[in-house]
Amino acid sequence: MKRKKTEEISFYILIGLIVILLLAALLAPVLAPNDPFKTELTLALIKPDKEFPLGTDPLGRCVLSRILYGARVSIFSSLCIIGIVFFIGTAIGVTAGYLGGAVDMVLTKIITIMQAFPKFILAIAIAGVLGIGIKNTILALCLVEWAEYARISRNLSRGVKQRTYIKAAKVCGESRLQIMFHHVLPNVLPTLVVNASLGISSMIMEVAALSYLGVGVKSPMSEWGAMMNIGKDYLQTETRLVIIPGIAIFVVSVLFNLFGDKLRDILDR
Amino acid sequence: MKNRMIKLTALLMSVLLLGTGCGASGGDTAGDTAVKEEGTKEKAVFADTQCPTSLDLADSWNSWYTSRYGITETLFKLDDTLTAQPFLAESCEMQDDTTWVIKLRDDVTFQNGNKMTAETVKKCWERTMEINARLNELLFIDSMQADGQTLTVKTTKAVPSFITSLSEPLTGIIDVEADGDIAEKPVGTGPFMPVSYEVKGTLEVEQYTDYWGGTPKLEGAVFHVIADANALAMAQQSGESDLSVSIPATSLELFEKDDAKYNVDGVAGSRGQVIFMNYDNEFIQDIHVRKAISMSIDKESYANVLNKGASVPASQLYPDFMAFGGSDGECIEYDLNGAKELLKEGGYSDSDGDGILDKDGKNISLRMVTYSTKAELPNFCEEMSSKLKEIGIDLQVEVYESVAEQQKSGDFDLMMISFTMTPTGDPGYFADIAFKTDGSSNYGHYSNTEVDALIDQLDSEFDQEKRTELTKQIQQKIIDDAGYIVVGHSKYIYVMGSSLKGLKTNPSEYYLLDAEVYIQK
């Protein structure tokens, strides 16, 4: 009983931290001490001081302000991707799993084909073809990520389909759509939500990785991966340029991962 | 409890991952040191980010490398001011507009002991011509006649830059009748002969004791190709390399502050950061916009702050250190307020209040493309984007691996690339390919009939002073048009371990290892 309570408390603390994080990202324009986009070469590579708490980058831009603005891009684009693939993947998966037969076969084949590709390399290729820009990055990652969610929800739905309450619903004359919405979906949803919340951190990393490789955001937009890319040339002289965005990615990933973890524990109970 | 386990496992995993990463690189280093130990005394180790596709000098740009490696040599050689001086040749004289008489040195032998004669030079050029069309864009050979050590060349047209072209490495001499594969073991006249070469890996050379300029001081050398610029810097720091070419400007200060251990030597080159503007864009067609863009670039800061002094700001277009460089002409000065005024004069205003100027309901929004293998370019573009925003122009920067695609398709508004403008020290080359209306590298379709006429004049002018004068005029016209922007010119920088001596820097990128280089024990 006591353990349950501490678990709940830590879950709320985590939620609190994530809310603070999201607020910080949303309120970046208010919180940022300086203009994150304005370059000023006379202020290039300043060590952390009062005016620039985390120093400046090679173009004289405030690193803290860029981290805050970058949080919006990194976090919200990841949430956006997870939202889209969660919706599409679940819709396809539940349809395939519940309807079965030819529909299932065709959809499963497509999912298998998508999953046969090395995911990240395919994303790089798609983003490369579509061109540089955050919209294209989101699109590219959605195109490669949906299959995983479709696969899981399809397998779960197939399991649920065998349950007696589904048979009962059928006997009662509910339509397929109604059964899918009212009985299948609610039963597969918890697992999917946990999976999605655990996926957020890997998505943040993938968005950052694409930007690091130069196929993500367009400059002057600020993004953590892109910041590391600029910093890598200064690895030996201005290590903070890589470390700071690295810490940001690390902290946010850990927070979302722990959140997903706790969410599973609570939903499993 | 369960959670602690998960955290512990996660920590273990990350440590393991880190370990494998270090392990792999550790392995590489071990291999490299082995190579070094074997020849610490008499062999020098060089490192560069780039390498040739094979050692056949006729193929693409490989000759630049074989020349740097000390394998092949040319009839003339460029000195510090990029003036061609006789090298394998004793003299080259013009008989009439299209006939050149070249007298070769009598004491030059190939690395297999054969003597270099006019006949061998003729055969070598005939082979190079067949493989690489660029040779005839340099020399325009119609026919050649060999007689002992005298080679008479007839050209298809008057070629004022003939002698400087004889220093372009592509005109280098190898014994084409020697045994063995030219791609693997070419037989040149240089101080060093190739032993083995693995593409994108390692090249080994050993001294040619009967070299005409005296026995080389080094017994041999190893050239490593290290594509990643940070790894290149680290190899120099760990003492794996004696000399590194293309160390990124950002790491230079590491070496500069430790001058007991390293020598950093740089010399202004002609590799310019050139901005091509696409005249298909309606805004670019307006001189107000072009000039405003020019005025928002603070060339001094770009070179000294962003590029940490690894380049020299350009007054006009050509490098300032050259006779025809534009330092005495009228330049476009950095002036943001002036740029704003200029745009206002051009009829642009921010009528919808979004911070971007517009005219007839269209925002000045431009796309700039560049590439990442020259580390300074993306930073320059970002800085431009920020400054243009201040004067009300929206500039979106796209950084690619290569912009070859965009050069072909013209899919850009602005393009910044790194371009060697005067490889042989002659201004005609870049004027022909970039400034002329139908030039092969005129990617933005700049066109000015007056400039074209002046370039035609330059192409047939032999008098050096008049050539300089004409180049200055061409340059001034383009600056008045704000037709091209050159931000600055990169220095050609080497970082050397302090024990490496005798290396002479040269503003061209043609030379590196020669007979005079040695290691002080």
Whether the model pTM is above 0.80: no
Q: Please give the domain boundaries of chain A with CATH numbers for all domains.
A: 2-36+51-268 (1.10.3720.10)
Task: Tabulate helix, strand, coil % of chain A (nearest 5).
Answer: 75, 0, 20
Position B61 scores a pLDDT of 82
A5 or B215, greater pLDDT: B215
Partner residue opposite A41 with nearest CB, options B229, B301, B390 = B301
Residue B428 CA to residue B328 CA, distance in Å, equals: 20
Residues B61 and B106 in one domain: no
Nearest to A39 among B230, B382, B398 (CB): B382
Which of A131, A220, A234 lies closest to B382 in CB terms? A220
Same domain (yes/no): B295, B437: yes
pLDDT at B3: 60
Query: Which chain A residue lies closest to B257 (C-alpha atoms)?
Result: A237
Q: Which residue has the higher pLDDT, A250 or B400?
A: A250
Whether residue B297 sits in one domain with residue B164: no
Contact B398 A236 (CB under 8 A): no
DSSP of B441-472, one letter per residue? Answer: T-TT----HHHHHHHHHHHT---HHHHHHHHH
* Cβ-nearest to A37 among B253, B302, B386: B386
Q: Which residues of A touch B251 (CB under 8 A)?
A: 233, 236-237
DSSP assigned state of A72: I
Q: In chain B, what residues touch A38 (CB-CB under 8 Å)?
A: 386, 390
* Same domain membership, residue B443 and residue B302: yes
Q: Are residues B437 and B378 part of one domain? A: yes
The answer to whether residues B510 and B436 belong to one domain is no
Name every chain A residue with its beta carbon within 8 A of the beta carbon of B400.
Answer: 132, 214
Q: Please count the CA atoms within 13 angstroms of the CA of B148 that sit on its side-chain side.
A: 6
Selecting from B251, B306, B398 the residue whose C-beta is nearest the C-beta of A58 gives: B306
pLDDT of res. B2: 52
The residue out of B153, B180, B207 marking a domain boundary is: B180
User: Letter for the amino acid at A267?
Assistant: L
For B133, the domain range is 72-180
Give the chain B residue nearest A128 (alpha carbons): B400
Q: What share of chain A has pLDDT > 70, as a percent?
A: 99
Residue B254 inside a domain? The answer is no
Q: Let me know if residue B428 belongs to a domain.
A: yes
Tell me if A157 sits within 8 A of A91, measured CB to CB.
no
State the CATH number of the domain containing residue B115: 3.40.190.10
Report yes or no on B437 lying in a domain. yes
Q: Is the domain of B409 the same as that of B346?
A: yes
Residue B408 belongs to a domain? yes
- Cα torsion A23, A29, A32, A38 to 10°: value is 150
One domain for residues B412 and B520? no
Which of B233, B298, B379 is facing A58, going by the closest CB pair?
B379
Q: What is the domain-level CATH number for residue B281?
A: 3.10.105.10
- Smallest Cβ–Cβ distance between A236 and the set B3, B251, B375 belongs to B251
Q: Confirm whether B13 is domain-assigned.
A: yes
Residue A36's CB: how many other CB atoms inside 10 A?
A: 22
So what's the pLDDT on residue B22?
A: 45
Peptide bond into A220 cis (omega under 30): yes
Nearest CA in chain A to B11: A254
Q: How far is B166 from chain A (nearest CA, A)?
A: 38
- The whole-number pLDDT of residue B33 equals 42
**What's the CA gap between A117 and A149, in Å, rounded?**
15
B256 within domain boundaries: no
**CATH (domain of B8):** 3.40.190
| Yes or no, beta carbons of A59 and B386 under 8 Å apart | yes
Are B298 and B409 in the same domain? Answer: yes
Closest residue in A to B300 (Cα–Cα)? A41
pLDDT tens-place values along chain B, 521 residues long = 556 666 666 666 665 555 444 444 433 443 444 444 443 447 899 998 888 889 999 988 899 999 999 999 999 999 887 889 999 999 999 999 899 999 999 999 999 999 999 999 999 999 999 998 888 878 899 999 999 999 999 999 888 889 989 999 999 999 999 988 999 999 999 999 999 999 888 999 999 999 999 999 999 999 999 877 788 888 999 989 999 987 878 788 888 888 888 988 888 788 899 999 999 999 999 999 999 999 999 999 999 988 888 899 999 999 988 888 878 888 899 999 999 999 999 999 998 888 899 988 899 999 999 988 788 898 899 999 999 999 999 999 888 878 888 888 999 999 999 988 888 778 888 998 899 998 888 999 999 999 999 999 998 888 888 999 999 999 999 999 999 999 999 988 889 998 898 888 888 888 999 999 999 87
Write out pLDDT tens, residues A100-150: 889 999 999 999 999 998 988 999 999 888 888 889 999 999 999 999 999
**CA-CA-CA-CA torsion for B212, B214, B220, B223, nearest 10 degrees?**
-60
Do residue B80 and residue B35 come from a single domain? no
From A249-253, A259-263, B227-231, the region with the lowest mean pLDDT: B227-231
Residue B305 sits in the same domain as residue B419: yes
* Count of the separate structural domains present in chain B: 3
Q: Of B180, B208, B224, which closes a domain?
A: B180
Task: Pick the more confident residue, B20 or A269.
Answer: A269
The closest alpha carbon to B108, from B72, B82, B135, belongs to: B72
Contacts of B253 in chain A (CB under 8 A): 237
- pLDDT reported for residue B353: 85
Would you state the pLDDT for residue B160?
87
Q: What pLDDT was estimated at residue B30?
A: 39
CB contact under 8 A, A39 and B383: yes
Task: For residue A210, give every residue at least 6 positions away whose Cβ sits within 8 Å of its Cβ, in sequence order, or none.
Answer: A123, A124, A127, A137, A140, A141, A216, A225
Q: Which of these three, B136, B155, B180, is where a domain ends? A: B180
Confirm whether B253 is domain-assigned.
Answer: no
Closest CA to B395 of B311, B275, B271: B275
Contacts of B229 in chain A (CB under 8 A): 233
Domain annotation covers residue B185: no
Contact residues on chain B for A220, CB-CB shorter than 8 A? 382, 385-386, 389, 397
Comparing CA positions, the residue from B174, B85, B167 lying closest to residue B423 is B167
Nearest CA in chain A to B308: A58
Burial class (CB in 10 A: 0-12, 13-18, 19+), B353: exposed
Q: Write out pLDDT tens, residues A171-201.
A: 888 888 888 888 899 889 989 999 999 999 9
To test the contact with chain A by mutation, choose from B5, B247, B262, B379 the residue with the greatest count of A C-beta atoms within 10 A, namely: B379
Interface test with B, best of A14, A236, A268 (most B CBs within 10 A): A236
Q: How many CB pairs below 8 Å do chains A and B form together?
A: 69
φ, ψ for residue B385, nearest 5 deg: -55, -40
Cβ–Cβ below 8 Å for A59 and B230: no
| Min Cα separation B399/chain A (Å) | 7
Chain B CA closest to residue A232: B230
Q: Which of A38, A220, A233 sits opposite B375 (nearest CB)?
A: A233
Q: Contact at 8 Å (CB) between A118 and A145?
A: no
B420 and B321 share a domain?
yes
> Closest-CA residue in chain A for B233?
A236
